[in-house]
Amino acid sequence: MFQLGQGFNLPKDKYDGFCHFSMGGEKMSSLRKKVYATIIIALFCLIIVTGIGNYRAEQLAIKIAADQIDKALALTFQELDNNRLQTLIQTLDDQDPYYDQIRILLRQIKQDHNLADLAILYKIPETGWFYVVDAREKEDPSYHPLGAAEKQASVYMERTWKEQPAGIEYQASSSNAFISRYLLLKDAQGSALAVLKGDLAAGDITSYLYKTRYVQIGVIIVSLVLIGLITGAGYKKTKVRA
């Protein structure tokens, strides 16, 4: 007989069972703490990995899009006659045969490279920016005819005009992403003549980024479920042994 507190006696075999149950409870409580700690650490690590993965995927997508635009700008640059372009800028004559020739060229390159727009703009220092050629369809509400003003000139375009490093212009919203690149065109004397602009509406890139996020979230959920199942099985085995 063993005495547990005042006025309570317990047979030896019952006392051994009571002690064993108490120790088993402590083991289960310790196991729970390990399970929770493991889940928290795993979740924290997966969140970090997801964030890094999203950033790397976004940077890669931007670079791919920028390279695609750069190819279109380089091809356009090779096909342009800057002397005739300078005449077109000075006269703003949409009846000039070269105007139609440039439009056909830009529309074809825009289509071949899947761009949202391909345009040539020039700047009058006292007035602002104006369109020379816009490759959009004339029925497009965003189309700008020869001589139309650009009221929202990009800082990146200004930097290009001043021959400063412009980099990649990237604008993102919850539904889409837009990437723009610029190339300076010069006259025979080497002075700034116009800026060639290429835009890519990166809907596919945005969709890819969101799909990547969803996949990573799915991986987190599946990983946590697997951790729960594995630790739960270990918890049951410990309980049975106890």
Q: What are phi and psi of 128, to 5 degrees?
A: 140, -155
In tens, the pLDDT along 184-226 reads: 999 999 999 999 999 998 765 656 566 666 666 666 667 666 7
Query: For residue 150, is pLDDT > 60?
Result: yes
Helices and strands, counts by H and E, the chain = 5, 8
pLDDT at 113: 93
Q: Which two tokens stand for residue 23?
A: 């120790």
Q: Which string of DSSP letters, residue by residue, matches 115-179?
A: -SEEEEEEEETTTEEEEEEE-S-TTSTT---TT-EESS--HHHHHHHTT-----EEEE-SS-EEE
Which of 31, 78, 22 is CA-nearest to residue 236?
31
Close Cβ partners of 57 (under 8 Å, ≥ 6 residues apart): 208, 209, 212
In tens, the pLDDT along 69-91 reads: 999 999 999 999 999 999 999 99
Which CATH number fits the domain 80-207, given the four candidates 3.30.450.20, 2.20.28.270, 3.30.70.260, 1.10.10.10? 3.30.450.20
> Containing H/E element for 230?
helix 203-241
Residues 1 and 12: beta-carbon distance below 8 Å: yes
Per-residue pLDDT band for 57 (boundaries 50, 70, 90) equals low
Q: What are phi and psi of 199, to 5 degrees?
A: -120, 140
d(CA 128, CA 151): 8
Q: How far is CA 91 from the centre of its chain?
A: 42
